[in-house]
Amino acid sequence: MRLVQIQPRSGSRPPEVPSKLPGIPSSAGAGGTPSEPLPVLLPSGQALSPDLRELRDLKNLEEILKNARELIRDLSFPTARAWAAGGGTSVAFFPVYTPHEIAHSLGMLPVTVHGGGEDLEITHADAALGSFLCSISKSTLELAITGCLDPFSAYVFPYICDVSRNLEGILCRLKPGSATHMLHLPQNFTSPATIPFLVTEYRRLIAKFEKVSGNRYQASELTQSLKLYNERRRAIEELSELRRKEPWKLPTSELYLLERMGDLLPPEAHLPLLRRSLEQARERSRTKRDAVRVLVVGPFCEQPTPDMLALVEEAGCYVVGDELNMLHHWTPTVPLDGDPLENMARSYVQTPVDIGVRATPIPKGDSIVARARAVDAQGVLFLTAKFCEPALEDVVLYRRGLDREKIPYLHMEFEERSTAYEQSRLQIETFVESVLFD
Amino acid sequence: MSAGASLLNANPGFLRDAREEQRKMVERYYADLESAGGPKRPVAYMLVGGNLTEIVRSFGYEVVFPEIVALNCAIKHKSLEYILNAEAQGYGLDVCGYVKNDLGLQAQGGVTPFGKVPKPDLLVCSFSGCYVYIKWWEALAETLGAPMYTYDVPYQRTEAPLKEDVEYMVAQLWEFIHFLEKTTGRSFDMEELKRVLARSRRAEEEWVRYLDAGRRRPSPIEAYFEAVFYMFPINVLRGTEEAVRFYETCNEEIRTRVSEGNYPVPEEKFRLVVEGVPPYTNYRTFWDFFRKWGAVSVAATYPKVGGLFDRGFYHDPSRPLESIAEYSLGAYVNQSWPLRRDLIKQYVRDYEADAVLIHGIKSCRSFTAGQGDLRDWLIHDAGVPTLYIESDHEDPRYFTPAQIKNRMDAFFESLDLRKRTGPSAGPAGGHAATTAGASATKEVAVR
Ligand code: SF4
Ligand code: SF4
């Protein structure tokens, strides 16, 4: 597969990061022959490029996982480059909640940039951002400084915290020719004025997207995009349900990869992969282990490495609920009747998500207990990004609720490039033992 | 963010009546608060950024600003005790010092060296400029059981407020008013609000007049260390005659200073614009690091956390709710980075500053995330010598006097050299002239 063709733009610095380019195979994988690629037309009329079609047609779950692992590690953003090569424009969205569907309806490739992960060394961003800040903010800035974000024409930072908000102000200085936007996500969830305000905010974003994409916004296209994204949400929900009921068939470290690759792919390519994965995961004959069912709370923005997630499971946990890849879980479905922008705004405002980056309508202590019980968790693992204040402040209130109900928990902090795996393993094993034998 | 230091023990000789009056005003405020709380004199907790003091007071609430309480605790060297209490509750090292001070203080019954802070009957969260506000108020609501009202203030990304943003806020203000009517059983009196806003406006204009005095050469005011003392009335007592009188006294004193030649430093050597929250735990020490070099702050961003009145964000009784909405948008840290950068550059030009000093706060991302980039921009794009130093507003464990002093000494030394020998010898990589040299200095009347 020729997905990754890193050609530094003339005059710009080459990306310093991807020493290891993704080994996306030249065949569609062991389990199957690539099906005859069907031209999938995107909203703007652009066809899915051969590279993306090839990826979409991967047949075998193990191969899909392998490609996902490589894709998310590739800091040259090959899908955005492939998109650009086909004449399209892409948007880099910072986590946690952003309206990808809007970009999609304008024929843009929406990508969530989850920082630089474990492979990126921070050499420039520290000076711009200051100390005491989370890794994802620094590595995202580092990606921008080193040219890795060049394939994108627009950058969107939601007001999930002051760091994300301020990052936009730095990016707009760094990339003066691009469209940048700080998306104000409202925090008043009771006012009737909030939904119209959010629609206005979306229209501001649309105006910028129209400029860089050259396409005009159309409500009917957005409804189509919402429909497709709803289908994807359904597929992810089914995978999550399988993970909750039979976590040995689809551990979270794998579910995570399947979801995460969707942050880089158009949903047209992602959805078939999810469906195929679900079918095959259901059929897996794996033996159930004696493990503790845990709810993982905290990594809603900066993500732990896949190795860290695997370690949690190896050390004796079944992760049966989590806050990873929250965008895919924010709302079960967005209604399709009526004005699509209003439907999106209503869905954001009226879905009472309990998460660190949105005001919570019910007490946190009660909420965490209800959430743990909903997934039948025996304990809670707080996995918070170092310096992530929204997560750190919630932990105290959550812990009080868990203490009241005598639900065990463990709190660990992580960083994108943390290597203290052995220490973490020991902590988790001790926690598991205490839950199993107390 | 916060404002209104009051119990500062730093009191250099140029400070006279206004400082004394401010001290008494603050003492009266805390003494009055001791007996507040409950249905007769309900207490509303508010946040400085975008606050709704006038509306809340018009319903008979006493107002507490936990940020201001926190900074007072830091000045009195009590913050660490409360911070450690909050850390024992589970709040991490990286949580904002104001939050930890407050939650530790609440756990210890609200008892401070300057009085007992009553518990809230209402929590008004003006979400303007700081995401931590939401987290903090949620924690208080859950811990203390008080109802919380969130007033969502859109981030200010354009120089002039946008119509839709103002409409959104005005709608919320009406809802808030109805909520207060229901909660207190009192009716809203628009005419009374207009009268209160008229007094707010007078205080704001006097406050701006005081701040504008920094344009004079030499500056008769210390626009950071002194102005921080005087932020208390503009945030806490806005809308009262007491606040108006206070700023009139300030300006009277400035006129006397000019006529008598009583300036913040005997010889003004360096004029600075200061960005960032002060290290309250070591306020006097930090100030001394400036004074020994004859450095005076002529403008600062921090005194604007409660509102950018000097940029026209005034309350206006003829447009009561609209102007409250615009005022809330105008909190300094609710300004996008491009707006913040421009403002600082304008201060450097309008106040003929030689340099910018940025004080970063390790537990405040709202102010601090991006100050390194600001420094880079000031030096390389705006040609302004700039020093960045970092400690904390509340936590004395992060203030390292020797290190900070060394960096400031080196900076002032190179500024001095630069003044004597020209820009190429100066700091900031020998970048161009310090100021654009506007002629504003003597044009500002100090009445
Ligand atoms: S990790 Fe936390 S602090 Fe950092 S950008 Fe994300 S939400 Fe904000
Ligand atoms: S984080 Fe900063 S702006 Fe927010 S309350 Fe703390 S000091 Fe103020």
Residue A194's domain is classified under what CATH number? 3.40.50.11890
| Ligand nearest the Cα atom of residue A387 | 1
Residue B139 in contact with partner chain A when CB distance is under 8 A: yes
The CB of B96 under 6 Å from ligand 2? The reply is: yes
**Ligand 1 site, residue A110, Cβ cutoff 6 A:** no
The answer for B 338-357 residues in CB contact with A (under 8 A) is 338, 340-341
Q: If pLDDT is split at 50, 70 and 90, which confidence band does B14 have?
A: confident
Considering only CB atoms, which chain B residues are within 8 Å of A394?
135
pLDDT digits (tens, 9 = 90+) for A150-198: 999 999 999 999 999 999 999 999 998 889 999 999 999 999 999 999 9
Can you name the residues that pair with B387 across neighbouring β-strands?
B357
N-to-C CA span, chain A: 52
CA distances for B243 relative to A32, A424, B326, B387, angstroms: 78, 56, 21, 35
pLDDT digits (tens, 9 = 90+) for B235-292: 999 999 999 999 999 999 999 999 999 999 999 999 999 999 999 999 999 999 999 9
Cβ neighbour number for residue A310 with a 10 Å cutoff:
17
Pairing of the two strands B148-152 and B115-116 = unpaired
Query: Which residues face B127 on adjacent strands?
Result: B152
User: B372 contacts in A (CB within 8 Å)?
Assistant: 126-130
Q: What is the pLDDT of residue B11?
A: 57
pLDDT tens, position by position, A77-110: 999 998 888 889 999 999 999 999 999 999 999 9
Query: What pLDDT score was predicted for residue B214?
Result: 98
Calpha distance A100→A226 (Å, rounded) = 9
- Position B234 pLDDT exceeds 50: yes
Full residue range of the structural domain in which residue A114 is found: 20-25+38-221
Q: In this predicted structure, what is the pLDDT of residue A131?
A: 81
The closest residue, in CA terms, to atom 6 on ligand 1 is A301
CB contact under 8 A, A356 and B135: yes
- Kind plus residue range of the DSSP H or E element containing A366: helix A364-374
Residue B355 CA, ligand 2 centroid: distance in Å? 25
Closest CA to A341 of A193, A225, A233, A219: A219
Nearest CA to ligand 1 atom 3: A388
- Average pLDDT for residues B360-374, to the nearest whole number? 96
> For position A85, what pLDDT does the model report?
84
Return d(Cα B324, Cα A91) in angstroms, integer: 36
> Position of tokens 């402040």?
A393
Residue numbers in B near A187 (CB within 8 A):
127, 134, 150, 152
d(CA B351, CA B299): 7
CA A389 to ligand 1 center in whole angstroms: 7
Ligand 1 mean position, distance from CA A236 (Å): 24
Q: Which two tokens stand for residue B79?
A: 């913050």
Spatial distance between the Cα atoms of B356 and B359, rounded to a whole number of angstroms: 10
Q: In this complex, is the C-beta atom of A187 within 8 Å of any C-beta atom belonging to chain B?
A: yes
Report how far residue A379's alpha carbon sits from residue A319's, in angstroms, rounded to the nearest whole number. 10
Q: Are B398 and B285 within 8 A, CB to CB?
A: no
Contact A364 B151 (CB under 8 A): no
Domain annotation covers residue A373:
no
Residue A139 included in any domain: yes
Which pLDDT band holds residue B116 (cuts at 50, 70, 90)?
A: very high
Taking residue A89's Cβ as centre, other Cβ atoms within 10 Å add up to: 23
d(Cα B369, Cα A136) in Å, to the nearest integer?
13
Q: Using only C-alpha atoms, what is the Rg of chain A? A: 21
pTM: 0.91
Cβ(B366) – ligand 2 distance below 6 Å: yes
Domain membership flag for residue A230 = no
ipTM of the complex: 0.91
Residue B95 Cβ inside 6 Å of ligand 2? The answer reads no
Do residues A195 and A347 touch, judged by C-beta distance below 8 A? no
Q: Is the CB of A304 under 6 A from ligand 1?
A: no
Residue B375 corresponds to which amino acid?
R
Whether B292 and chain A come into contact, CB under 8 Å, resolves to no
How many domains are there within chain A? 1
Average pLDDT over residues B119-138: 96
Residues B294 and B269: beta-carbon distance below 8 Å: yes
Question: How many other C-beta atoms lie within 10 A of the C-beta of residue A113?
Answer: 26
Distance CA A155, CA A212 (A): 11
Chain A residues lying within 8 Å of B368, measured CB to CB: 130, 132
Burial of A36 (0-12, 13-18, 19+ CB in 10 A): exposed
Inform me whether the C-beta atom of residue B179 falls under 8 Å from chain A C-beta atoms. no
Residue A77 included in any domain: yes
Q: What is the mean pLDDT of residues B359-379?
A: 96
Q: Three-state SS for A383?
A: strand
Cα(B367) to centroid(ligand 2), Å: 7
Report which protein residue has its CA nearest ligand 1's atom 2: A388
Rounded to an integer, what distance in angstroms lies between the CA atom of residue A334 and that of residue A344? 6
Average pLDDT over residues A30-42: 40
Helices A306-314 and A252-261, interaxial angle, to 10°?
A: 160
Q: Which residues contact A140 (CB under 8 A, 6 or more apart)?
A: A94, A113, A115, A116, A167
